[in-house]
Amino acid sequence: MAPKIVSKPTEANTRLGGGQFGDLWPATHHQLIEACNGPHEVAVKMLHPLKEDDMKAVLNAFDNSFSKYKGLKGVCHLQRVSVLSGRVCIVMRFYEGSFGDRMVHLKGGKLSPPDVLKYGTNLAQGVLELHSKGILVLNLIPFNFLLNIMTK
């Protein structure tokens, strides 16, 4: 049985963000997974509508690379990829912010040298892990690097 993903009623119209590939929405994921004992918050990236052939190609690409992410410590883990309302949806844990978000709130928009060292080390480790699995990392911008509890 496929996991059920339901938008929170209070946030049903609250888009978290968007970009050239689609929109990011909050949702609740109703399935037990290792890290959670019940329903938990997730972020759902809903890609822009695709032609049927393109959708199959995207889903096949995710199937081929999904297993490569298993066991990597320095990258965000995808919980599932599915199709909702005719759009490919990428479901992952909900993170509270990104490096870019943090920089926006700092004086001058710059990180302190100790933070640059801490975050830079984590970023380099994550990119190294991905490259070691043959995954090319593109679009390396501060807003694409998410902060977890350990990096805040």
Binding positions:
45
By three-state DSSP, how is residue 114 classified?
A: helix
* Exposed/middle/buried for residue 94 (C-beta within 10 Å: 0-12, 13-18, 19+): middle
CA neighbor of 148 nearest in space, from 111, 86, 97, 77: 97
Could you list the residues known to form a binding site for ATP, using ranges: 45
